[in-house]
Amino acid sequence: MSGHRALGGTERRARLLAELEAASAPTRGSELSALLGVSRQIVVADIAILRAAGACVFATPQGYVMSPAQGHPGLRAVVASRHDPTQTERELRALVECGVRVVDVVVEHSLYGELRGQLNLSSIRDVDEWIQERERRGAHLLSELTDGLHLHTIEALSERPLEEAKAVLRALGFLVEA
């Protein structure tokens, strides 16, 4: 930040929060880092402090958002799914093609209990970018901890896409029903 005095922690976090509240899309940590003139690690620490203070800041694969449902009012459902890792892209593409937003993935771990990962995928492009990032990082799926069994929270503006998503998962042989 040449020519500017560095912001103090409190002032910086206030600006960070204001930026996230004003954003219409997820904001990457690297963008926030450049905007605030601090390292990515300081942004991560500031986000943690804001969360501890009660701010609803969530990390998604696309960046930080103020809430997982930001800009996505509507109905929610939870679906149980089981498949191997090679079928993840097919599952996610099928869901967003039905017009639902895949909010998260949840597994029940024998030691830690519920483990949740934010996805916030609502388009084929989102899915493609998430898959590419996973491959680039060599990251493992949460569902690999539970032999492929996992839950997704899905959202839509009406009941029809939610029902269609369940039907598609059933047709693919992924849906786990009681």
Residues 25, 88 within the same domain: no
pLDDT in tens, 39-80: 988 998 888 888 877 777 877 777 888 765 444 457 889 999
The torsion angles phi and psi of 120, rounded to 5 degrees, stand at: 50, 55
Please check whether residue 178 lies inside any domain of the structure: no
Same domain, 59 and 79: no
Kindly state whether residues 94 and 16 are assigned to the same domain: no
What are the tens digits of pLDDT across the range 146-156? 999 999 999 98
In this structure, what CATH number is given to the domain that contains residue 42? 1.10.10.10
CA–CA gap between residue 77 and residue 100 (Å, rounded) = 10
| Count: domains in the chain | 2
Q: What is the dihedral of CA 28, 32, 35, 39, to 10 degrees?
A: -120
- The CATH number given to whatever domain includes residue 85 is 3.30.1340.20
Domain that holds residue 98: 75-172
160 lies in the same domain as 79: yes
Express as a percent the part of the chain with pLDDT over 70.
93
Q: Which residues contact 77 (CB under 8 A, 6 or more apart)?
A: 153, 154, 162, 165, 166
Residues 50 and 128 in one domain: no
